[in-house]
């Protein structure tokens, strides 16, 4: 017996068959007792439906009047499938957030002069890049004079220079990259991140690279046109951190920011790097027009260090900096960095990129006691 | 089934703002629709909620009714869809006894199974429970066919399925009910004093 024949039995009972189908079913029922049995059982089943109670709505007129009343209100209450409102709300929230972010970015960029920025960029590309080459020839390098220039010519810090979790200055990113490229040209085996050369590269050439980079940075800072670039670069970085270190700690800081690829005689290398970067007497020789404390308060960073990090890498890096007390030494701040991992992750998702652009604005503290520095 | 002339006039009046016309249009179907919804939802309170929602939707969307199917079919389509949406969210399981009490009907007595009326009531209870256990697609066609008395074409219009699918689902739904109930029904029939 085919399945089709069985369906015809139900249709036959419901009088939903054609004339031909009815003849087929009746013929099959006559010859097949199983089919007849099926028909009888289905009929018995259908009899049960006649026994089902019939339910009547109470006050149907009230139900109708209430329905009309609700339908006529400005926002009738209509039940929707679960999830629809949530999807609409979620989409609306995301769209609103995206719109707000666009407005914020636009407003932050509005006061800038496009032409001036382009000029500054042009100057940057034409002026800064060649200079590190010159300074990176050890025989031409003059650490004292360059560092002195950098200390004297530190420009006023732009307003809104954020500390910790803040905005980013385009020019600082640009100068960081320029400094990085300068270091790379002097030490090609270095990691892509800006920073001190690896410990293994303990040579006058490497020392010169760092000092030359610092010098280039200083000259960059001195140019007022670059200030606008620095401001703009802030907008491009995802996170900005301010660090203030003494010259003694600068190399150790770079060891954290840009860990050495090959560990080789760390003590010796670090000492060499420290001696290469410490020029306290050059600062003492400076005769700033602005009082030193005021200069420090308003000065722009001496070194900008840009690095691309995943959220995990960034939290790990911040933890190391925290451990070395480069940040505020308190539990709240430490927890803030760790708890920010979720925020970094969300930020990365919005960027649709693999890593966050992180900027470290490093200010070199002047030496307070020449005696201590001489001992180092 | 085409829209009757009377219904056409009522619909025009409703669209012109007449609430009385809406009551007249709905009245022939309201009680029947409620009964169908109770069997689908197995919950009178939920059936009232769904009925009201269906009437609201029918009133709000009446201007979209194009008359290609009968108003009855159009209204039932709205109501059945809402009922199954509600069922998927709520899944109420209430016995017929409690429903009868809620509706003012006397509960079924199961003390004397030999009594014919008791046997019929017992069969009805078992059938009601078995219908509730059917998959939604089978339950809908069974209720519309057996309780509402719709033909296959109307069922297909309400549920937006072909008549062939209606035929198939009705038969498969009946086979499931048969498997659960026929042994008991035969037993009741044997024990019935009127058998």
Shortest distance, CA A356 to any CA of chain B (angstroms): 43
Provide the mean pLDDT of chain A: 63
Select the residue from B142, B150, B167 to test the A interface by mutation, using most A Cβ atoms within 10 A: B167
Q: What is the C-alpha to C-alpha distance for residues B174 and A10, in angstroms, rounded to an integer?
A: 8
Residue B21 · residue B10 · CB < 8 Å:
yes
For residue B121, the model assigns a pLDDT of 80
Q: Please report residues of A whose CB lies closer than 8 A to that of B20.
A: none
> Percent of chain A having pLDDT more than 90?
9
- d(C-alpha A6, C-alpha A15), whole Å: 14
Contact A65 B152 (CB under 8 A): no
Mutate to test the interface with B, among A52, A76, A82, A83 (most CBs of B within 10 A): A52
Q: A28 to each of A22, A182, B116, how far by Cα in Å?
A: 10, 95, 35
Domains of chain B: 5-90 (1.10.1740.10), 108-191 (1.10.10.10)
Task: Identify the band that residue A365 occupies on the pLDDT scale cut at 50, 70 and 90.
Answer: confident
Band of the pLDDT at A310, cuts 50, 70, 90? confident
Which of A307 and A153 is assigned the larger pLDDT? A307
Between B100 and A6, residue with greater pLDDT = A6
The 10s digit of each residue's pLDDT in B56-103 is 999 999 989 988 888 999 999 999 999 988 887 766 554 444 445 444
Confidence of residue B155 (pLDDT cuts 50, 70, 90): very high
Question: Averaging pLDDT over each range in A120-124, A174-178, B11-15, which range is the top one?
Answer: B11-15
- Which residues share a beta bridge with A43? none
Could you tell me if A65 and B19 are in contact, meaning their C-beta atoms sit under 8 angstroms apart?
yes
- d(CA B182, CA A11) in angstroms, rounded, equals 19
Confidence of residue B125 (pLDDT cuts 50, 70, 90): confident
Q: How far is CA B154 from the centre of its chain?
A: 14
Predicted confidence (pLDDT) per residue in B12-43, tens digit: 898 888 888 998 999 889 999 999 999 999 88
Please say whether the beta carbons of A235 and A158 come within 8 A.
Answer: no
Instruction: Provide mean pLDDT across the span B40-48.
Output: 90
pLDDT at residue A7 tops 70 = yes
Residue among A228, A41, A87 at smallest CA distance from B183: A41
- What pLDDT is attached to residue A315? 82
Using a CB–CB cut-off of 8 Å, the residues of A that contact B are 6-7, 9-11, 14, 16, 41-42, 44-46, 48-49, 51-58, 60-61, 63-68, 70-72, 76-79, 81-82
Determine the distance in angstroms separating the CA of B168 from the nearest CA of chain A, rounded to an integer. Answer: 6
Q: What phi, psi does A174 have (nearest 5°)?
A: -65, -45
- Distance CA(B78)–CA(B62), nearest Å, equals 11
* Annotated domain spans of chain A: 3-49, 114-375
What does the pLDDT average to over A121-139? 40
Option in A45, A61, A76 nearest B177 (CB): A45
Please give the average per-residue pLDDT across A14-32, as a whole number: 93
**pLDDT winner (highest mean) among A141-145, A310-314, A345-349, B35-39:** B35-39
pLDDT in tens, A89-98: 777 777 778 7
ipTM score of complex: 0.80
């Amino acid at each position: 017996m085919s399945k089709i024949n069985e369906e015809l039995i139900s249709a036959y009972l419901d009088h939903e068959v054609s004339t031909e189908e009815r003849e087929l079913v009746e013929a099959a029922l006559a010859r097949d007792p199983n089919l007849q049995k099926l028909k009888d059982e289905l009929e018995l089943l259908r009899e049960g439906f006649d026994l089902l109670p019939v339910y009547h709505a109470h006050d149907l007129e009230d139900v109708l009047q209430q329905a009309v009343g609700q339908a006529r209100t400005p926002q009738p209450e209509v039940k929707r499938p679960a999830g629809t409102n949530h999807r609409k709300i979620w989409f609306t929230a995301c769209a609103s957030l995206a719109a707000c972010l666009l407005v914020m970015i636009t407003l932050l960029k509005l006061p800038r002069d496009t032409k001036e920025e382009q000029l500054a960029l042009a100057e940057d590309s034409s002026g800064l890049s060649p200079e590190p080459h010159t300074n990176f020839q050890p025989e031409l390098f003059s650490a004292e004079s360059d560092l002195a220039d950098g200390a004297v010519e530190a420009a006023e810090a732009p307003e809104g220079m954020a500390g910790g979790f803040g905005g980013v200055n385009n020019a600082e990113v640009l100068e960081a990259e320029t400094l990085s490229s300068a270091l790379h040209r002097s030490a090609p085996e270095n990691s892509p991140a800006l920073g001190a050369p690896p410990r293994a590269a303990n040579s006058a050439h490497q020392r010169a690279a760092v000092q030359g980079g610092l010098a280039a940075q200083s000259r960059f800072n001195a140019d007022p046109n670059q200030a606008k670039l620095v401001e703009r670069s802030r907008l491009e970085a995802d996170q900005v951190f301010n660090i203030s270190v003494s010259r003694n700690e600068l190399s150790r800081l770079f060891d954290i920011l840009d860990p050495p690829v090959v560990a080789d005689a760390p003590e010796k290398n670090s000492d060499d790097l420290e001696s290469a970067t410490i020029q306290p007497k050059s600062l003492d020789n400076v005769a700033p027009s602005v009082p030193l404390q005021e200069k420090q308060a308003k000065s722009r960073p001496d070194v900008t260090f840009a690095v691309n990090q995943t959220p995990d890498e960034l939290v790990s890096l911040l933890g190391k900096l925290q451990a070395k007390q480069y940040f505020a030494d308190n539990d709240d701040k430490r927890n803030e960095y760790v708890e920010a991992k979720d925020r970094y992750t969300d930020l990365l998702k919005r960027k649709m990129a693999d890593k966050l652009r992180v900027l470290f604005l490093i200010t070199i503290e002047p030496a307070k006691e020449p005696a201590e520095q001489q001992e180092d | 089934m085409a829209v009757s002339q009377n219904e056409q006039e009522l619909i025009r009046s409703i669209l012109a703002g007449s609430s009385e016309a809406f009551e007249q249009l709905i009245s022939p179907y309201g009680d029947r629709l409620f009964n169908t919804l109770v069997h689908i939802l197995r919950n009178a309170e939920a059936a009232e909620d769904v009925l009201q929602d269906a009437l609201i939707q029918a009133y709000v969307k009446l201007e979209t009714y194009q008359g290609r199917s009968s108003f009855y079919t159009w209204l039932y389509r709205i109501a059945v869809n809402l009922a199954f949406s509600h069922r998927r969210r709520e899944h109420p399981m209430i016995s017929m006894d409690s429903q009868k009490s809620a509706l003012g009907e006397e509960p079924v007595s199961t003390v004397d199974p030999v009594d014919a009326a008791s046997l019929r009531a017992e069969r009805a209870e078992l059938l009601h429970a078995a219908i509730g256990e059917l998959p939604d697609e089978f339950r809908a066609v069974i209720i519309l066919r057996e309780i509402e008395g719709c033909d296959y074409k109307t069922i297909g219009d309400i549920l937006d399925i072909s008549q062939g699918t209606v035929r198939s689902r009705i038969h498969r739904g009946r086979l499931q009910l048969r498997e659960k109930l026929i042994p008991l029904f035969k037993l009741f029939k044997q024990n019935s004093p009127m058998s």
